[in-house]
Amino acid sequence: MTTVLVIEGSADPHQLTQALPGVRVEVLDRLPAASHPAVAAVVRSGTRLSAHHLDRLPALRHVVRPGSGTDNIDLPALAARGVNLHRNPAANAAAVAEWTLLAALSLTRRVALGHNGLIAGRHLKAACLGPHLAEQRLAIWGAGPVGLAIGQALGPAVKNLAYAAWPSNPPHLPQRPAELLAGWADLHVVALPLRETTRAAFNPPWLAEAGRHRPALICVGRVETLDLPACLDALDADTLSGLAIDAIDPEHVASLTRLGEPRNLLLTPHVGAQRADVRRVLDHWAAQTLRTALLAGRGEGG
């Protein structure tokens, strides 16, 4: 029997079972440690799919990723094995943009500082005087579906907006050269994919240039695009006025349990896309994508 492997939390197995008659849907909390007969796998952002894992999935022909990021997937290994990758990078963009607006308001109004102070038993009202969001200049690093949605959501709320210039950006976008953008903005949003060229790209030299405006920094992508220790140091040195990071995954928690003095710091456990309507859309998309991939050849598409 054809088997589809679903990593727990990546898709609704009941909906998959209904959409895939005659297919066995198996839910696991991680990729198998031994050889497995799955012809398709549905994975989430925290699931590392390497060549080593693929060796245990010799029948695999399809990988479904309900979301945008692929830094957890060995793309050359997939291609070498002829495995098709299906992903949906746009479905969660508006939800992530909504979280970004929340973060921008939290940092500029210094709500995060006030909250963290209260948790530590301190009343920091006097330190929570912040600027008007409408007076801020916004820089967006990344013009994929999420970056574009952030511009649509925050653009009307800020004074000015510019994207980091890049050849593949849509030509209508307001853009500034990356080397000038750091020192221009009051609020930076990082919406870049994690690659070797973007790993720890927001590092001490960048922070030194950006620090002239004492900006707030929001990361909606992988935390590894930041040099996190350097960003926390900049927050302590008051060259960053605030820091918000969404994609805090389980492996990051241990390094964040002793954060010291209350900071204007917002950390969330990768909840940017955790919205019920987005989950419904992605569950439906995963089911229909697998139905097309696996059953169309049997005359059961639709």
Report how far residue 112's alpha carbon sits from residue 188's, in angstroms, rounded to the nearest whole number.
17
For the chain, the domains span 3-89+276-298, 93-267
Residue 151 has pLDDT above 70, yes or no: yes
Is the per-residue pLDDT at 221 higher than 70?
Answer: yes
Of 69-78, 204-213, 255-264, 287-296, least confident by mean pLDDT is 255-264
213 compared with 217, residue with greater pLDDT: 217
* DSSP classification of residue 259: -
Residue 187 · residue 240 · CB < 8 Å: no
The residue type of 47 is T
Q: Is the pLDDT of residue 20 over 70?
A: yes
User: In this predicted structure, what is the pLDDT of residue 300?
Assistant: 43
> Sign of torsion, CA 251 224 220 282?
negative
Judge whether residue 299 has pLDDT over 70.
Answer: no
| Contact of 66 with 45, CB cutoff 8 Å | no
Distance CA 100, CA 219 (A): 9
Quote the radius of gyration of the chain (alpha carbons, Å): 21
Of the listed ranges 55-69, 160-174, 196-210, 286-300, the least confidently predicted one is 286-300
- Cα(124)–Cα(62) distance, rounded to whole angstroms? 52
- pLDDT more than 90, % of the chain: 87
* Amino acid occupying residue 174: P
Which CATH number is associated with domain 3-89+276-298? Answer: 3.40.50.720
- Residue 250 near residue 226 (C-beta atoms within 8 A): no
Distance CA 211, CA 221 (A): 21
User: Same fold for the domain at 3-89+276-298 and the one at 93-267?
Assistant: yes
Q: How confident is the model at residue 297 (pLDDT cuts 50, 70, 90)?
A: very low
Listed in sequence order, the residues at least 6 apart from 79 whose beta carbon sits closer than 8 Å to its beta carbon are none
Q: Do 92 and 76 form a contact (C-beta atoms < 8 A)? A: no
Q: Which residues face 243 on adjacent strands?
A: 217, 265
What is the distance in angstroms between the CA of the first residue and the CA of the last residue of the chain? Answer: 21
Residue 288 in this model has a pLDDT that exceeds 80: yes
In CATH, the number for domain 93-267 is 3.40.50.720
Average pLDDT of the segment spanning 166-179: 95
Checking if the pLDDT of 71 tops 90, the result is: no
Q: What is the pTM of this model?
A: 0.91
How far, rounded to the nearest angstrom, does the alpha carbon of residue 49 sit from its chain's CA centroid?
17
The per-residue pLDDT of the chain, averaged, comes to 93
| 257 band by pLDDT with thresholds 50, 70 and 90 | low
Confidence of residue 70 (pLDDT cuts 50, 70, 90): confident
Q: How confident is the model at residue 27 (pLDDT cuts 50, 70, 90)?
A: very high
Question: Does residue 67 have a pLDDT over 90?
Answer: no
Identify the three-state secondary structure at position 175: strand
Distance between CA 154 and CA 31 in Å, rounded? 38
Structure confidence at residue 111 as a pLDDT band (50, 70, 90): very high
